[in-house]
Structure 1
Amino acid sequence: MPAARPPTPDPLPLVALADRCVQCGLCLPACPTYGRDRLEAESPRGRIALARALALATIPPTGVADTHLDHCLGCRSCEAVCPAGVDYGALLVAARSRQRQRRPPPWRQRLIEALARRPRLLGAALGLYRLAHPALPVAWRPLPQPPARPRTAPGAPARVPEARAAVFVGCVAGAYERPLREALARLAGAAGLALDTPAGQGCCGALHAHAGDPAGAAALAAANRAAFAGHATVLTLASGCHESVARSVAGVRDALEVLAERGERLRFRPTAQRVALHLPCSQRNLSRSAPALRRLLARVPQLQVVELDAGYGCCGASGSQMLTDPARAADFRAPLLEQFASSGATVLLSANIGCRLHLAGGTALPVRHPLEFLAEHLDEERPA
């Protein structure tokens, strides 16, 4: 009798996802990591083949293979050009989930995930970080200083509300995006939209899913689903959170798109200022709100907009990668900052919080959400 074969690990659904890839290579020019390293294993096609081989146990897991999977930025630019419709985002989550089962994540990643799951603890930690930031050595300041809590509440809406919407805050945005939420309230009020911020919400879970922890992401999704129950419209401010929130909560819209639809109600003061516009991967490939943002900025008379397109197609923030692999993340950021510095722009606008924090860490010029800039130039005295 022949010897019994050892059980083969169940390769589904990863192999089913991988088998949609026809290995055409059209994804290679769109991939930031392939553009930087020019290695097949640093391309979507290479990672798909690698993940499939690991799932089928045709090659043994190695540190080199893990590094190639770790390097993926999850930008999903490959999906935008794939003729076979490969769901690379789902494949990457599946591959990293299997990877996490046999190799625990680094301590920094575990710490980041733990803080993101606990909004109060994260808020307290960032409060202490804000106070200590000026005295810390540069090496101990991986993120910009969080803004101080405003002393005055935002003004009343300029219009009688015609509709209501809830606002998704997220995790790190709780401390970093207070000025942005005030700006959104001003713009929404002028556009006839009242806002609610439901209690009980938290991290969208993208951070955990991309690190191979779908169970943790599902738990966070359930909490957000409960927090937003009963709200017909939920606005997101961070393009990196949009897809995860939309998968778990009904009625999710990008705030930029909602305001652009009500753009006729908004009037802005003229400014001859030149601004640099960074379009995050998640905005271009997932929330797809870049056209809405361009329409809103076009409503500001005399404004000059320079879109940043230098480098590899991604700023390198990639969720937690800017903290777990800062040197590599800085390589992706450098061409964008060089273009920004030579553009003559006085401010850099980006619609994703991770990108803004990462870009702000490499320049002394202001890096802001586009809605903050628009709210500053809102002409509330002129009727629409």
Structure 2
Amino acid sequence: MPAAPPSTPRPTADPLVALADRCVQCGLCLPACPTYAASRLETESPRGRIALTRAWADGQAEPTQEGDAHLDHCLGCRTCEAVCPAGVEYGAFLVEARKQQRARRAPTWRARALEMLAARPAALSTLLGFYRIAYPLLPSRMRPLPRPPARRTSPPRSTPVMPRQVVAVSSGCVARPYEAGTREALARLCATIDIQVVAPEGQTCCGTLHAHAGDAAAAATLARRNRQAFAGIDTVLTLASGCHDALASAIEGRAVDAIGFLADHADRLQVRRLDARVGLHLPCTQRNVTRSVGAMHRLLACVPGLDVVTLDAGTGCCGAAGTGMLEDPEHANGFRAPLIAQIEASGVDCVLSANIGCRLHLANASPVPVKHPLELLADQLERAPSPGTGARPR
């Protein structure tokens, strides 16, 4: 079927209506939508949500608790956007719809607490430090996240003698403690190709969580802080595919997906053989936003002996949806269950996933370790210099 030209929205003062007017109601998004696949309800599809919120904005219908629940259930995976022939910007539509939803319905105390902590990465890291200590004593129902790794001591600093490029790395919010090892892996990989990685002070959460919760003001404040932190840096590498879009918007396109960046230098990476079977989970944001799936396969192909099993059970979406796994765990766990069953049946030694939220969600139920693909790659380096990571993020 030939792609239809993007429809021209009617002039309107409401950005939500302008975005919704691009939808031609063809329904091609329905088979791609995880929530529609699970429920077979029109209101749980992108087309249904667009029609519903369009009716609210036009005054043709009054918002209801049931209607809001359909909007809440959207995972923000943007798979619909990738298949839409009319060019509907569903990601922007969802942000605007949630913004208007928040104006009429106050967020829960849990949502407010999560947003507050994400905007204060240092406080969040401290809290997760206490969570690590208490973790062995907690019952399973009080373990919403896997146990955070032990705090790492700063490695001996060793940078390329004459680096040909200096890049920055984004440390995010919850990723700050959980991805310390991933940032070290990135620095080791970059050092082998004479690139130095720095972690500027002052950086913060990317704001995706806040934008998807409808708090546009908080998202804008975080974007401004990141713009200031990364000022003067030409390339900022992102390790979490779910954070990439917001950071790229904040720093005007200087954000580069770390997987794609390293794939461009794959011929210079010297790695040892690894006879192992790994499960590769492809986060929705990696498939639909950073679009680095091909780069991911090129990097893993550098490791001789590696047997890669793509984890695609169900719709392939794990259901984490940012804080959705914490606010509505039953809903999130339903999407995760087929992937966990596939992991158990496949006999893989570990699971790889390029998004922090997906890794945390999968790790809380996976029978095998879950890690970032770059950690596996760095472990196989034939020469692995200690990374020079510049200033530690605050």
- Tell me what 1:105 maps to: 107
What displacement does 1:372 show?
A: 0.5
Any conservation in 2 of the 1:308–1:336 contact (CA below 8 Å)?
A: yes
1:271-310 pair list within 5 angstroms = 271-310=274-313
Q: Does 1:257 align with 2:260?
A: yes
Tell whether the 8 Å contact from 1:100 to 1:212 is kept in structure 2 after alignment. Answer: yes
- For 1:365, which of 340, 351, 368 is the aligned residue? 368
Of residues 86-95 and 349-358 in structure 1, the stretch that sits farther from structure 2 once superposed is 86-95
Q: For residue 334 of structure 1, what is the aligned residue in structure 2?
A: 337
Q: Which residue of 1 aligns with 2:381?
A: 378
Aligned length: 373
**Cα shift at 1:284:** 0.4
SS at match of 1:336: helix
Structure 2: how far apart are the matches of 1:381 and 1:93? 42
Q: Tell me what 1:86 maps to.
A: 88
The AA in structure 2 aligned to 1:141 is R
Instruction: Specify the code of the residue in structure 1 equivalent to 2:61.
Output: I
1:45 aligns with 2:41: no
Is the 2:279–2:310 Cα contact (8 Å) retained in structure 1?
Answer: yes
Amino acid at match of 2:309: V
Structure-2 separation of matches of 1:312 and 1:320: 20
Letter of the 2:377 counterpart: L
Instruction: Name whichever of 33-42 and 54-63 sits farther off.
Output: 54-63
Q: Percent identity?
A: 59
What secondary structure, in the 3-state scheme, does the structure 1 residue paired with 2:211 have? helix
Match of 1:168 among 161, 170, 181: 170
Taking a change above 3 Å as real, the CA distance of residues 323 and 159 of structure 1, as seen in their structure-2 partners, is same
Q: Is the Cα–Cα contact under 8 Å of residues 191 and 263 in structure 1 kept in the other structure? A: no
* Residues 160 and 196, structure 2, Cα contact 8 Å, conserved in 1: no
1:347–1:143 CA distance, 2 compared to 1 (3 A): same
Native 8 Å contact 1:157 1:186 kept in 2: no
Instruction: Identify which of 17, 23, 26 aligns with 2:25.
Output: 23
Higher relative contact order (Cα pairs below 8 Å, separated by 6+ residues):
2
2: CA distance between counterparts of 1:111 and 1:223?
20
Q: Work out which of the residue numbers 318, 322, 331 in structure 2 matches 1:319.
A: 322
Q: What pairs up with 1:52-67 in 2 under 5 angstroms?
A: 52-67=54-69
AA in 1 matched with 2:200: P
Deviations, residues 144-179 of structure 1 (Å, cap 9, x unaligned) = 011011235056346742111011110001111111
Question: Cα offset for 1:56?
Answer: 1.1
Give 1:93-242 correspondences, 5 Å limit. 93-151=95-153, 153=155, 156-157=158-159, 160-242=162-244
> Which secondary structure state, in structure 2, belongs to the residue aligned with residue 188 of structure 1?
helix
> 1:70 corresponds to which residue?
72
Instruction: Please state how far the C-alpha of 1:313 moved relative to its aligned partner.
Output: 3.3
Cα deviation per residue 1:306-338 (whole Å; 9 max; x = unaligned)? 111111231100000000000110000010111
- With normalisation by structure 2, the TM-score equals 0.92
Tell me, in whole angstroms, the C-alpha distance in 2 between the residues paired with 1:381 and 1:117: 34
Pick one of 330, 355, 369 that aligns with 2:358.
Answer: 355
Partner of 2:390: none
Q: d(CA) in 1 for partners of 2:111 and 2:184?
A: 31
Which whole-Å CA distance do the structure 2 matches of 1:239 and 1:278 have between them?
Answer: 12
Counterpart CA distance in 2 for 1:270 and 1:159 is 28
Report SS of the residue matched to 1:306.
Answer: strand
Aligned residue identity for 2:20: A
Structure 1 segments of 4 or more deviating over 4 A? Answer: 157-160
Letter aligned with residue 193 of structure 2: A
In 2, are the aligned partners of 1:159 and 1:189 still within 8 Å (CA)?
no
> TM-score, normalised to structure 1's length?
0.95
Q: Name the aligned partner's letter for residue 156 of structure 1.
A: S
CA-based RMSD of the aligned residues comes to: 1.4
Partner of 1:14: 16
Query: What corresponds to 2:4 in structure 1?
Result: none
CA deviations 1:321-372 (Å, max 9, x no partner) are 0000001100000101111111121100000000000000112310000000
